[in-house]
Chain A
Amino acid sequence: DTAVSQTPKYLVTQMGNDKSIKCEQNLGHDTMYWYKQDSKKFLKIMFSYNNKELIINETVPNRFSPKSPDKAHLNLHINSLELGDSAVYFCASSQARGNYNEQFFGPGTRLTVL
């Protein structure tokens, strides 16, 4: 059973295009995240949603727009793609309970912008 799934797994596109990455979790969690992992493996949080509400919004270009239609889904839409957007994007989810929330990660989407 897939806990956190992402589609597509690979995405190759031209500069200037608009693309979306989808994420779904079947763990019943109420918080979801998007991370970007660059070519040096550095992992940085981009956004976090709790119960469809944005709670973490790091310094990310406004070309990136997350959308959470429900608690189980968090999609990432990217406008006007640039070369520097090439990276692996990870979705994660957790249950905000008490003082700790273990995050479960999806398999990643490798985005290549040509």
Chain B
Amino acid sequence: AQSVTQLDSQVPVFEEAPVELRCNYSSSVSVYLFWYVQYPNQGLQLLLKYLSGSTLVESINGFEAEFNKSQTSFHLRKPSVHISDTAEYFCAVSDPRRGGYQKVTFGTGTKLQVIP
């Protein structure tokens, strides 16, 4: 079975400061990894994903995450946050062996609060 741990339930950070949201996963097989963002009163949107290849993946709005197999981590970072980044961020994992019918397991989420 796979699991995801997001140790920080809330992360307050000042505007324009850097931020790192931590994610660790547990799996006995190779994985696909995701970060989803949920803005207030909205559904989840895919922010970025790691499927294979380069361990550093980037989103269009300045976030990046690095897959570290030895530490089983997929931390999300942004060098300078904006007020509009205030949201709940979910790390997720799935099993590539199940192909298109894979089940995605989500972490408990980290609320990023950007302070003006």
- Contact mask B79-101 → A, CB, 8 Å, 1/0? 00000000010100000100111
CB distance from B93 to the nearest CB of A (A): 13
Please tell me which one of the listed residues B43, B99, B103 contacts residue A90 in the complex, with CB atoms under 8 A apart.
Answer: B43
Query: Does B108 lie within 8 Å of A31, measured CB to CB?
Result: no
Interface of chain B, helix or strand or loop or mixed? Answer: mixed
Say if the beta carbon of A48 comes within 8 Å of chain B: yes
**B interface residues, how many (CB within 8 angstroms):** 22
CB distance from B99 to the nearest CB of A (A): 5
Query: Complex formed: what's the CA distance from A99 to B97 in Å?
Result: 7
CB distance from B18 to the nearest CB of A (A): 24
Say if the beta carbon of A103 comes within 8 Å of chain B: yes
B92's nearest neighbour on chain A, judged by CB, is A43
Please tell me which one of the listed residues B44, B46, B90, B100 contacts residue A99 in the complex, with CB atoms under 8 A apart.
Answer: B100
Q: A33-69: which have CB < 8 Å to B?
A: 40-45, 48, 50, 55-56
- Contact mask B43-65 → A, CB, 8 Å, 1/0? 11110010100000000000000
Query: Does B108 lie within 8 Å of A96, measured CB to CB?
Result: no
Query: Does A98 lie within 8 Å of B109, measured CB to CB?
Result: no
Query: Does A107 lie within 8 Å of B104, measured CB to CB?
Result: no
Q: Which A residues form the contact surface with B (CB < 8 A)?
A: 4, 31, 40-45, 48, 50, 55-56, 90, 92, 94-103, 105-108
**Assuming A43-B44, A100-B100, what are 14 further A-B pairs, CB within 8 angstroms?**
A4-B43, A41-B88, A42-B106, A45-B104, A48-B101, A90-B44, A95-B100, A96-B99, A98-B99, A99-B102, A100-B51, A105-B43, A106-B43, A107-B42
Interchain residue pairs A-B with the least CB separation, the first 4: A96-B100, A105-B43, A43-B106, A105-B44
Q: Which B residues form the contact surface with A (CB < 8 A)?
A: 32, 41-46, 49, 51, 88, 90, 96, 99-104, 106, 108-109, 111
